[in-house]
Copies of this chain bind each other. A is one copy, B any other.
């Protein structure tokens, strides 16, 4: 019963586990209603309505989340049940940190910042990161540290909904925010190549191991929790006091 979260206990009472395809459909259904592409700030971003200050604020605050990803992935590695799964999940840490210096997802995010005029040392300093963002990120890391591995892994399922958003974002920034150096978009392009592999692994893990009603509910709850994390990041960013910026659109 370690996989049960309080709310799922009630929902699970008396039902049989869903079939794999029904379970997957329900997971995907969460994206349709709760993924952060529906957030007003995100919709403004993709409509080209953000000022330079706002887009920089998003990049800066989102870096607080990005840099926590190898940390939560290492916590997940520490609790995965087999060498095979650890080996597969380890690739995510290498994707973030790079196999050698000067590459990797964090480095590419730094390049995204540079393409918007954000100096690397500002990104790493955490300066300008709003408390709501720090708290949401810290809750996510804490979730991966404290919850059973199936839930920690389940929280990564927001990846299911990311590819469409990432391809759209590349086009949006190129067309709506032409002041951003396009070289800075490598992060998003690169994620599009890494993500199919990650999605296949995480889906396989949850569809294989969440084979009770309780386990399925716990994974659904984990995915909802993660949607809340991403949503709260945007709440915080939207509410951030933007510097008065003479360049703002």
Contact = CB atoms under 8 A, between A and B. Distances in A.
Contact of A78 (B71, B98, B101, B104): B71
Nearest to A79: B71
This chain's copy number in the assembly: 2
Interface of A is mostly: helix
A93 B71 CA distance: 15
A86 B75 CA distance: 12
Contacts of A224: none
A84 B98 CA distance: 9
A77 interface: yes
Interface residues of A, number: 24
Interface of A: 70-72, 74-75, 77-79, 83-84, 86-87, 90, 93-94, 96-101, 104, 106, 145
Contact of A83 (B72, B84, B106): B106
Contacts of A96: 83
B86 A70 contact: yes
Given A90-B93, A93-B90, A101 B74 contact: no
19 contacts: A70-B77, A71-B78, A71-B79, A72-B78, A74-B74, A74-B75, A74-B77, A74-B78, A74-B86, A77-B77, A78-B145, A83-B96, A83-B97, A83-B106, A87-B99, A87-B100, A90-B90, A90-B94, A90-B97
A94 B93 CA distance: 12
Given A90-B90, A90-B93, A93-B90, A98 B83 contact: yes
A144 B96 CA distance: 23
A244 B25 CA distance: 56
A100 to B, nearest CB: 8
Nearest to A76: B74
Contacts of A72: 78
A137 B21 CA distance: 40
Contact of A86 (B83, B84, B97, B145): B97
Contacts of A86: 70, 74, 93, 97
A43 to B, nearest CB: 33
